Amino acid sequence: MKRSTVEKSYKLAAEAYAELGVDTEEALKKLAAIPISLHCWQGDDLAGFESGELSGGGILATGSYGGRARNAEEMRADLEEVFSLVPGCHRVNLHSIYAETGGKKIPRNELRPEHFAGWIDWAKAQKLHGLDFNPTFFSHPLAADGFTLSHADPAIRRFWVEHAIACRRIAEAMGKKLGTPSINNTWIPDGFKDTPVDRLSPRQRLCESLDAMLKVKLDPKAMRDAVESKLFGIGSESYVVGSHEFYLGYALTRRILLCMDAGHYHPTETLADKISSTLSFVDELLLHISRPVRWDSDHVVILDDALLATAQEIIRGGFVSRVHIGLDFFDASINRIAAMTIGLRSMLKALLLALLEPLAALKKLESAGDYTARLAMLEELKTLPFAAIWDHYCARNNVPVGKAWLEEVRQYEKDVLVRRNG
């Protein structure tokens, strides 16, 4: 689209919003201040650099699209490409399996910040908003029987507690070097395929392990802990140790962050409704924005009703400073750069749509009991000229407007991705 068309459309659209009392410039300013944490693992289908098999907890990338990143250089180049197609300043979310160990096999409980120096230097050079982190409790021989921090064997538990502590220190180093707290998120695959008899003991062991992990006091300005629950996984259909209730209680009593993943609840539950409930008690949340299709399928995030409702809750509730937004999906059946770009752009569109609501007016209607007008307004808002505001935001951030980003991805695919074999 011609730049002059984008600007003309923006002017008209801004007038339409202004009629409702919405200041589009204000909305764009607010949007620019919301960083999204882009998960690196869409870039390589969660393979990591340890040369191990992906396994555990039913997380599985399906598809065989060519060109996945095979090492840190390739992954960083791909991420740079994504960020060149998306407006704003964002974060990257790493797992411990993305350590750079110079070809040496470092046991996970011995990982150190130096193994992430390449990532930290890159994040600084790229002027990223920051880095986030995750210990990796899957794709490992000591996780092969489906238990890690809640394992009945104390030696295996100990190994994973040491890994957890090692990762917390790495997150702290990231946060210190980059000047923004790194959120270190703990998700474990632990659970039973079939009906357990003793549901309590694994949870007691998990609690002890987490307490041992948190005993090491680190600088909250540099790192924060989050815990992520799950309902079930492949191989843990009947029982998951780290359930929602377990971690809600844990996060509350230990004053750490609760991580909620959109795919980790019963299919008719919505993440959106959980935000104000949990924030009534926990200080901060980490969200894993995903798209469950019939199950926790981790499809690429798109601008659907669920995403919009989540964004609306964050904005309407005034929760921007207490909600950390991370993406979590992995689809190996399409171009991975496109997958990340679609996910990031969709998240930003949802936030912008939410920021463009005439919130005070809507609240007024609600408190006056005028539910007729509330419904009417919410429906009218859906067809306001949102696209013109979004296009203008992309143009002024010097990223492609509309579908033009896809041409750049196609070019990158031709120049870079097809040369990768595997």
What amino acid positions are annotated as catalytic residues? Answer: 187, 228, 230, 261, 264, 288, 296, 298, 328
Q: Which of Zn ion, ligand RNT, none is residue 157 near (CB under 5 to 8 Å by kind)? A: none
Determine contact, residues 230/264, Cβ cutoff 8 Å: yes
Cβ neighbors of 258 (< 8 A, separation 6 or more) are 226, 227, 247, 248, 251, 252, 278, 282, 285, 286
The residue ranges of DSSP E strands in 108-177, in sequence order, are 130-134
Amino acid sitting at position 171: A
Binding-site member from 228, 284, 357, 413 for ligand RNT (CB under 6 A): 228
How far is residue 293's CA from residue 274's CA, in Å, rounded to a whole number?
Answer: 19
Query: Which residues inside 39-58 make contact with ligand RNT, applying CB under 6 A?
Result: 41, 46
Q: Which of Zn ion, ligand RNT, none is residue 82 near (CB under 5 to 8 Å by kind)? A: none
Binding-site member from 83, 98, 160, 187 for ligand RNT (CB under 6 A): 187
- DSSP 8-state secondary structure symbol assigned to residue 148: S
User: Closer CB to ligand RNT, residue 134 or residue 209?
Assistant: 134
- DSSP 8-state secondary structure symbol assigned to residue 299: B
Binding-site member from 115, 129, 157, 230 for ligand RNT (CB under 6 A): 230
Number of residues lying near Zn ion (CB under 5 A): 3
Please provide the DSSP assignment of 45-62 as one string: TT--SS-----STT----
Query: Which residues inside 233-292 make contact with ligand RNT, applying CB under 6 A?
Result: 261, 288
How far is residue 26's CA from residue 346's CA, in Å, rounded to a whole number?
Answer: 20
| SS3 label, residue 288 | strand
Q: Which of ligand RNT, Zn ion, none is residue 331 near (CB under 5 to 8 Å by kind)? A: none
User: Closer CB to Zn ion, residue 76 or residue 288?
Assistant: 288
Best CA proximity match to 290, nearest among 259, 321, 313: 259
User: Closer CB to ligand RNT, residue 46 or residue 314?
Assistant: 46
Contact pattern from residue 248 through residue 267 relative to Zn ion, giving x for each residue in contact according to CB under 5 A and a dash for the rest = -------------x------
- Parallel, antiparallel, or unpaired: how do β-strands 257-261 and 285-289 relate? parallel
**Region of 252 on the Ramachandran plot (φ > 0 left; ψ -120 to 50 alpha; else beta):** alpha
User: Closer CB to ligand RNT, residue 190 or residue 328?
Assistant: 328
Residue 291 binding Zn ion, by CB under 5 A: no
**Smallest gap, in angstroms, from Cβ of residue 243 to ligand RNT?**
13
Q: Which of ligand RNT, Zn ion, none is residue 313 near (CB under 5 to 8 Å by kind)? A: none
Query: Which residues inside 375-404 make contact with Zn ion, applying CB under 5 A?
Result: none
C-alpha to C-alpha distances, 381 to 92, 300, 393, nearest whole angstrom: 33, 26, 19
User: Closer CB to ligand RNT, residue 161 or residue 286?
Assistant: 286
Residue 134 binding ligand RNT, by CB under 6 A: yes
User: Closer CB to ligand RNT, residue 230 or residue 392?
Assistant: 230
Determine contact, residues 63/331, Cβ cutoff 8 Å: yes
Binding-site member from 38, 59, 256, 344 for ligand RNT (CB under 6 A): 59
CB-based closest residue to ligand RNT: 187
Residue 232 binding ligand RNT, by CB under 6 A: no
User: Closer CB to ligand RNT, residue 149 or residue 394?
Assistant: 149
Residue 349 binding Zn ion, by CB under 5 A: no
Binding-site member from 140, 157, 288, 299 for Zn ion (CB under 5 A): 288
**Smallest gap, in angstroms, from Cβ of residue 260 to Zn ion?**
9
How far is residue 116's CA from residue 101's CA, in Å, rounded to a whole number?
Answer: 9
Helices and strands, number each (H, E), in the chain? 14, 10
Task: Go through 280-293 and write b for each residue having 16 or more CB atoms within 10 A of its CB, e for each that does not.
Answer: eebebbbbbbbbbe
How far is residue 180's CA from residue 186's CA, in Å, rounded to a whole number?
Answer: 19
Residue 328 binding ligand RNT, by CB under 6 A: yes
Number of residues lying near ligand RNT (CB under 6 A): 10
Determine contact, residues 332/68, Cβ cutoff 8 Å: yes
Half-sphere exposure of residue 226: CA atoms within 13 angstroms, side-chain side: 29
Residue 345 binding ligand RNT, by CB under 6 A: no
Q: Which of Zn ion, ligand RNT, none is residue 41 near (CB under 5 to 8 Å by kind)? A: ligand RNT
| Cβ atoms within 10 Å, residue 262 | 24
Where do contacts with ligand RNT occur on this chain (CB under 6 A)? Answer: 41, 46, 59, 134, 187, 228, 230, 261, 288, 328
Where do contacts with Zn ion occur on this chain (CB under 5 A)? Answer: 261, 288, 328
